[in-house]
Amino acid sequence: MHKMNSKNKTFIDKLRSSGLRPTNQRVEISKFLFNRKKTFHFTVEELKNSMNLKRSKKISTATFYNTVHALKSAGHLKEFSLENNTSYYDTNIKSHHHFFDNGKVIDIRSDKITFQKLPDAPKGKKIKNVEVVIRLENNN
Amino acid sequence: MHKMNSKNKTFIDKLRSSGLRPTNQRVEISKFLFNRKKTFHFTVEELKNSMNLKRSKKISTATFYNTVHALKSAGHLKEFSLENNTSYYDTNIKSHHHFFDNGKVIDIRSDKITFQKLPDAPKGKKIKNVEVVIRLENNN
DNA sequence: TAACTACTTTATAATTATTCTAAAGTATGT
DNA sequence: ACATACTTTAGAATAATTATAAAGTAGTTA
Ligand SMILES: [Mn+2]
Ligand SMILES: [Mn+2]
Ligand SMILES: [Zn+2]
Ligand SMILES: [Zn+2]
């Protein structure tokens, strides 16, 4: 009893080309994560809760962790940190910047910030990337 | 049997002025954290292990957590995150930037980085601070 | 100094996020 | 259809942190 619409085809290819078998769970999770216009920032727990809320047959916690790790390894997700002790993931895998506004995260495209002065890397090292966090607070 | 050298005096004052009773444990931890020239970046577990290694009478895990939180609340420590699920603390409480080099953290003074272009805060918000992480990798 | 009270420390239990294990299920190649 | 490797899952295990509550200590007052 496999639904197979043209949308799923995209994600099946995406998974296959990353060396991941396109299981039902992986396709569903990929659709949920990548089938949207705006960047999605999430924790595994949040992902699990919002997906399983609407499903009769739940996907297991371990599968959410496994799949998020697999997608990260394949380069389809980026990991980042806020200051609690939970991993966050970002569907925007390009190097970019963020506003942090009380736990809410908003993307800033890389070209919206440019530098006048940047330090050199210590000797023997080179710069891999430069990412900026702009912390916000309420006006007044 | 209280040792009381002039060094401790400083930390006793620091704690008192933050509304924290200068207990032996807090004075020892403060001395260890703040009696150094360079910024110290650490996890609570690292702090506990390095201090307790040299002590016959160990300070408890809960006291390390309590004290680090108290010092953070008093504004003497700043919390930050790398990408594992552990809290890091920084004895440099001024707004500043970092090099991240495979788990090693190096301070970059705020004035070493300046911006040519920065986005405006979303409406109703204002910028609290701007912090940069420069990720390093090995040359070649 | 003695007594009082509020704050602190501690061992231990509990919680949260995450990873591990191993058994049952599924995708892919032949 | 069969074989085989990969995947999913429930549940156990681990790591970081927080909560609990009893014993200890600091600051205050008599
Ligand atoms: Mn964790
Ligand atoms: Mn935690
Ligand atoms: Zn982002
Ligand atoms: Zn620092």
Q: What is the DSSP string of chain A?
A: -----HHHHHHHHHHHTTT----HHHHHHHHHHHSSSS--EE-HHHHHHHHHHT-SSPPPHHHHHHHHHHHHHTTS-EEEE-SSS-EEEES--SS-EEEEETTEEEEE-GGG-EEEE-PPPPTTEEEEEEEEEEEEEE--
pLDDT in tens, B29-82: 999 999 999 999 999 999 999 999 999 999 999 999 999 999 999 999 999 988
Confidence tier at A1 by pLDDT (50, 70, 90): very low
Question: What number is the average pLDDT over the span B92-113?
Answer: 95
Distance from the Cα of A2 to chain B's closest Cα (Å) equals 38
Comma-separated ranges of CATH 1.10.10.10 domains in chain A: 6-90
Q: Is the pLDDT of residue B2 over 60?
A: no
Beta bridge partners of A114: B117
Task: Give the ranges where B1-140 is alpha helix by DSSP (H).
Answer: 6-16, 24-34, 44-53, 61-73
Question: What number is the average pLDDT over the span B18-30?
Answer: 96
| CATH architecture for segment(s) A6-90 | Orthogonal Bundle (1.10)
**Which pLDDT value is given to residue A103?**
85
Q: Is B72 helix (H, G, I), strand (E, B) or coil?
A: helix
Q: Is B6 helix (H, G, I), strand (E, B) or coil?
A: helix
Q: Is A116 on the interface with B (CB under 8 A)?
A: yes
Q: Å from B23 (CA) to C3 (C1')?
A: 21
Distance from the Cα of A106 to chain B's closest Cα (Å) equals 10
Residue nearest to nucleotide C27 (CA to C1'): A21
Q: Å from B52 (CA) to C6 (C1')?
A: 28
pLDDT in tens, A27-85: 999 999 999 999 999 999 999 999 999 999 999 999 999 999 999 999 999 999 987 78
pTM above 0.75, yes or no: yes
Cβ of B6 near strand D (under 7 Å)? The reply is: no
DSSP summary character for residue B118: -
